[in-house]
Chains A and B, each alone.
Chain A
């Protein structure tokens, strides 16, 4: 167990370093010196508290979408539609905040909005679980397609009902300051949503590993047939798992709209879903690991944005870094299995030699 954990840490850190080095090598194509680019990057990230806190701001929605993928993954289901559930959550967050902000006190609006976004994202997700349970549809396909439908719904609403009063750009009016998520550290953008996200990670961990429901979900994921035999209703769990997964992704919409953007803009954060999957893989599906992996991806995002503002480095360097890190993390899975097998072999040889 100890050796396993050591392998996990070492291979993952190696994967991250290799991913960053690989994207650094790409900078050579632009005629930039990667070493100086990265050192400027690191110094500017820690230069002021605003930028540093932004890492955690960026990590917040990523934790939610990573949890969304990891949660269904435990039931051996693939929810790759977290992006769509996030958009649905974001639309609901904007609509509910704009509608209620002049009627109710801010704190109450925030609570209602969080609840609505989670229910909305959850129902959007539960639909995937439902067609999986009822019609045995491929959840991978349906969740992927539902993202594009959610995007179309968001674009439609932003063009019609939710469009700003000036009706110039496809975006909503700005939310009143009363329904903004409170800042934790003054002078930065870090809002209370970050705490919510960390709590969600801990909560999901407790749910998965310390409750009967979590046990059933993992049992279905491990062997659906055997779980059915022992009296677990797998179909019900498919729907429930997808509801929870969708609700988590929907909550990311809430923290982004009420915490960061304070409005809904067309096509914002288009890579949350994919990055969330990367984070879940990096953390090996562990909700506590997701906290750290999300902070790392947040740092990549902030760093990439700063690089983008630097002379002539395109901001697509962010996607590049995330992509490289993900691919190397997958390779590290292979290395870990290989190390593990070797260790077992040596153990066997030792036992035989005796």
Chain B
């Protein structure tokens, strides 16, 4: 059980990175529908950087850069060229999928055995990890999990207690007001999308060099969309995102656990693989009140 909960926190980490990124960007009115592509590019760049340099730090830095680039392309098309967010996201995701498998082949050719790096090690925190029950669950994780412990409250504080947060939220609710206050709405939106790219890149790299130690083209398999969904289900609030992430992390931990003990007739593996997705649908249906940012998905056109 402790193992399962520890796995929950571990598998929840990248999801929370993605979900928080999505929350911040969507508050400005930008759905980052390229999130799946950002995750994938992050996973790819993380692996390539980590493998070629032998250093996971370089890996994560390249993942951040790759996420930034994909988000930059997405932001440029959607914010400055005012194109459709859903459609652009789908196009970029497809392009990234092609790029990743193509460039992997360019760099590594066709290796006979899959290339691997040793993934991030868990770092037990002295004293804290000795706490019975909670210790091994919360404080025997990788560095990324510890970072997210700080990032989650920080993003809440930033969104609700600072003037920057107010600007971000206003850009999605009433962009005209932000404009009148002399702040460039487009810049606010673009910067949050770039931030989402950086965070999404790290999240993607978690799968390749933080967990599996290798890259495959289907490594992300919809996890970007799940982060996207968590943002919706968490009502565009970091608190909600944390709760949603725990639920999905748990679902994924169960899926991994059930696959490791093999198939049973009543509960086939496929059911557990599909569990996070089924959960999203059920939760989307059962949530009654949503606090959707008013201008979510709407490009800002300045009247002149």
Chain B residues closer than 8 Å to A271, beta-carbon distance: 94
Chain B residues closer than 8 Å to A277, beta-carbon distance: 87, 90-91
Instruction: Please list 16 pairs of residues, one from A and one from B, whose beta carbons are closer than 8 Å in the complex, sorted by A's number.
Output: A30-B105, A141-B280, A145-B278, A149-B274, A155-B270, A274-B93, A275-B94, A316-B101, A317-B98, A319-B102, A320-B95, A323-B96, A324-B95, A326-B95, A327-B92, A337-B82
Flag whether B86 is at the interface (Cβ < 8 A): yes
Q: Is the pair A330, B77 in contact by a Cβ cutoff of 8 Å?
A: yes
With A131-B281, A314-B102, A323-B94 known, 20 other A-B pairs at CB within 8 A are: A26-B102, A30-B106, A80-B90, A131-B284, A135-B285, A137-B284, A138-B232, A142-B284, A148-B221, A156-B270, A156-B271, A271-B94, A274-B94, A316-B101, A316-B102, A319-B101, A324-B98, A326-B90, A327-B73, A334-B81
Q: Is the pair A323, B274 in contact by a Cβ cutoff of 8 Å?
A: no
Q: How many Å lie between the Cα of A230 and that of B273 in the bound state?
A: 45
Q: How many Å lie between the Cα of A323 and that of B274 in the bound state?
A: 27
Q: How many Å lie between the Cα of A72 and that of B279 in the bound state?
A: 24
Q: Is the pair A278, B91 in contact by a Cβ cutoff of 8 Å?
A: yes
Partner of A142, one of B96, B97, B105, B281: B281
Flag whether A78 is at the interface (Cβ < 8 A): yes
Known: A137-B285, A141-B280, A331-B81. A278 touches B94 (CB 8 A): yes
| Complex A-B, nearest 3 residue pairs according to Cβ-Cβ distance, in ascending order | A323-B95, A319-B98, A320-B98
Smallest distance from the beta carbon of A65 to chain B beta carbons, Å? Answer: 12
B: number of interface residues (CB 8 Å): 43
Q: Bits for B72-93, please: 1 = Cβ < 8 Å to A, else 0.
A: 0100010001111011101111
By DSSP majority rule, is chain B's interface helix, strand, loop, or mixed?
Answer: helix
Smallest distance from the beta carbon of A5 to chain B beta carbons, Å? Answer: 21
Flag whether B277 is at the interface (Cβ < 8 A): yes
Q: Bits for B48-59, please: 1 = Cβ < 8 Å to A, else 0.
A: 000000000000
A: number of interface residues (CB 8 Å): 48
By DSSP majority rule, is chain A's interface helix, strand, loop, or mixed?
Answer: helix
Q: How many Å lie between the Cα of A333 and that of B77 in the bound state?
A: 10
- Segment at the interface with A among B165-173, B174-182, B190-198, B222-230: B222-230
Q: Is the pair B225, A78 in contact by a Cβ cutoff of 8 Å?
A: no
Chain A minimum-CB-distance residue to B107: A29
Q: Is the pair A323, B91 in contact by a Cβ cutoff of 8 Å?
A: yes
Chain A minimum-CB-distance residue to B288: A135
Flag whether B268 is at the interface (Cβ < 8 A): yes
Chain B residues closer than 8 Å to A160, beta-carbon distance: 268
Q: Is the pair A148, B277 in contact by a Cβ cutoff of 8 Å?
A: yes
Q: Is the pair A274, B77 in contact by a Cβ cutoff of 8 Å?
A: no
Q: Is the pair A319, B94 in contact by a Cβ cutoff of 8 Å?
A: yes
**Max chain B Cβ within 10 angstroms of own Cβ: one of A30, A137, A317, A334:** A137
Q: Is the pair B105, A314 in contact by a Cβ cutoff of 8 Å?
A: yes
Known: A149-B274, A152-B274. A330 touches B106 (CB 8 A): no
Q: Hey, which bits of chain B sit against chain A, CB under 8 A?
A: 73, 77, 81-84, 86-88, 90-99, 101-103, 105-106, 217, 221-222, 225, 228-229, 232, 268, 270-271, 273-274, 277-278, 280-281, 284-286
Q: How many Å lie between the Cα of A159 and that of B73 in the bound state?
A: 41
Known: A141-B280, A144-B225, A152-B270. A29 touches B106 (CB 8 A): yes
Q: Is the pair B280, A326 in contact by a Cβ cutoff of 8 Å?
A: no
Chain B minimum-CB-distance residue to A160: B268
Known: A149-B278, A274-B93, A330-B83. A323 touches B284 (CB 8 A): no
Chain B residues closer than 8 Å to A112, beta-carbon distance: none
Q: Is the pair A323, B98 in contact by a Cβ cutoff of 8 Å?
A: yes
Chain B residues closer than 8 Å to A329, beta-carbon distance: 91
Chain B minimum-CB-distance residue to A128: B281
Chain A minimum-CB-distance residue to B76: A331
Q: How many Å lie between the Cα of A330 and that of B80 in the bound state?
A: 13
Q: How many Å lie between the Cα of A141 and that of B274 in the bound state?
A: 15
Chain B residues closer than 8 Å to A319, beta-carbon distance: 94-95, 97-98, 101-102
Q: Is the pair B91, A326 in contact by a Cβ cutoff of 8 Å?
A: yes
Chain B minimum-CB-distance residue to A328: B91
Q: Is the pair A334, B83 in contact by a Cβ cutoff of 8 Å?
A: yes
Smallest distance from the beta carbon of B215 to chain A beta carbons, Å? Answer: 13
Q: Is the pair A29, B228 in contact by a Cβ cutoff of 8 Å?
A: no
